[in-house]
A and B are shown apart, each in its own frame.
Chain A
Amino acid sequence: MGFDTAYEAIAQESGDQRWAFGTGFADPLAGVDTSVPDGVAGADLAAYCLMIGDDALIMSHRLQEWLARAPELEEETALANIALDLLGQARLLLARAGHADGSGRDEDDYALRRSEPEFRNVTLAEVTDADFGGLIARLLVFSTWRLALLDRLRSARDPVLAAVAAKGVKEVTYHRDYAAQWLLRLAGGTEYSRGRMVAGLAAVAPLTAELFTCTDTERRLIAGQVAAEPASLRAEFDAVITNVLDLAGLAWPDSPALPEAAGRGGAHTEAMGDLLAELQSVARACPGATW
């Protein structure tokens, strides 16, 4: 016999001897056709990719700000994983924008050299969190909405967008589950934790209406079957949020929408200025540098 034990005979290892257990990588965009589909304006597709790419980029940045402040070491790694997932989606979407509008700008150009009015993320992504309860409320709302959106985009006519959405669905499912588990734990904990969770939901509720508004770019792309109708996501969003809040014994706060929340048009809050200063300062100080 050529093997020491029966187990070795059955479980043949591949040539990946470097990794303890890992078995290599899969490129999510391998073999995907990158041409812009017919009947869709490249500029519109680029604008849409920037919208959902900026949501991921800015939300990722806010999550990264939690990296030395998380309540436990394991939560810190979890938040870092979520931030990296969103950053990966942002990179693919920003690169797609550069390719679709024909300018050839790369992801760094979009992330590090655009000015504040050129960012198209929703206000929900850019606000700061008062505490961990605020973060969980914002992460739950963001992830539930984003999962509904990416789920629709899996059948978009643009192959790259569909591939990014397929990859994103697996990631954001975990983000939503993570946030929901923590909401249940905080709401079912002490009076103090429940109060913080309620305050977190109250801070996030006025920013939710913007998630379901539709821009003209999106209307044209919906006609070309490349984008998802934002209002159609509302039903799934409400069902999931109501389900989680019922289990926690909480109610969705009854607060009016914030009229200043108009991030899709490039109007951002004061918090965005600080965020971009931190994100872009090194790149702007050393133009043309590589690292």
Chain B
Amino acid sequence: MNADQARSDWPLFEVFLRSKRGLNHVHVGSLHAADARMALHHARDLYTRRNEGVSIWVVAAADITASSPDEKDPFFAPSGDKVYRHPTFYDIPDSVPHI
């Protein structure tokens, strides 16, 4: 088995890391591994060298469904001009202490 064939057997995994002071896992990069357990170890070796995080999630890149750049306009542009969807649009009268 030559090197290219061997590498194609190792699928791509996306790595998400949560820092000690964070609430959410943030995407930090990707790596190749034979399976999910090995991907976790590789993520520990590659992405936590500088005390970046305390929790690792790895997801096979094939399992991720992403929006395509072609759909950018219909998906995201309509929300740009609807100011009434922001809470700050509405004035709360001073006589209403809590809402």
Instruction: Report A's interface with B, CB cutoff 8 A.
Output: 7, 10-14, 19-25, 72, 74, 77-78, 81, 174, 178, 181, 185
- A-B residue pairs in contact (CB < 8 Å), sample of 16: A7-B23, A11-B21, A19-B50, A19-B52, A21-B22, A21-B28, A24-B51, A74-B32, A74-B33, A74-B46, A77-B45, A78-B45, A81-B45, A174-B44, A178-B41, A181-B41
B31 sits at the interface (CB 8 A): yes
Of chain B, the residue at the smallest CB distance from A12 is B21
Determine the residue in chain B with the shortest Cβ distance to A181: B41
- What's the Cα separation between A72 and B34 when bound, in Å? 11
Chain A residue, CB-CB nearest to B20: A23
| Smallest beta-carbon distance A63→chain B, Å | 13
**Closest A-chain residue to B52, C-beta based?**
A21
Q: Quick check: A78 and B41 within 8 Å, CB to CB?
A: yes
Q: Give CA–CA (A25, B32) in the complex, Å.
A: 29
Smallest CB separation, A180 vs chain B (Å): 11
CB-CB under 8 A from B49, the residues of chain A are 77, 81
The number of residues on chain B lying at the interface, defined by a beta carbon within 8 Å of a beta carbon of chain A, is: 26
Binding site for A on B (CB under 8 A): 10, 17, 19-24, 26, 28, 31-34, 37-38, 41-42, 44-46, 49-53
Query: What's the minimum C-beta distance from B34 to chain A, rounded to whole angstroms?
Result: 7
Query: When chains A and B are docked, how far (Å) is the Cα of A78 from the Cα of B42?
Result: 7
Main secondary structure of the interface of A (DSSP, over half): loop
Smallest beta-carbon distance A65→chain B, Å: 18
Contacts of A10 in B (CB 8 A): 23
Contact B23 A11 (CB under 8 A): yes
- Judging by beta carbons under 8 Å apart, are B45 and A23 in contact? no
Residue of A nearest to B24 (CB): A7
Contact B41 A23 (CB under 8 A): no
A108 CA to B53 CA, complexed, in Å: 33
Contacts of B37 in A (CB 8 A): 181
Cβ–Cβ contact B41 & A77, under 8 A: no
- Name B53's closest neighbour in chain A (CB-CB): A21
Cβ contact of A23, chosen from B31, B32, B38, B51, cutoff 8 A: B51
Contact B21 A23 (CB under 8 A): yes
The docked-state distance in angstroms from the alpha carbon of A2 to that of B22 is 19
Contact B52 A22 (CB under 8 A): yes
Chain A residues near B41 (CB, 8 Å)? 78, 178, 181
Knowing A74-B32, A74-B33, A78-B41, the reply to whether A22 touches B23 (Cβ < 8 A) is: no
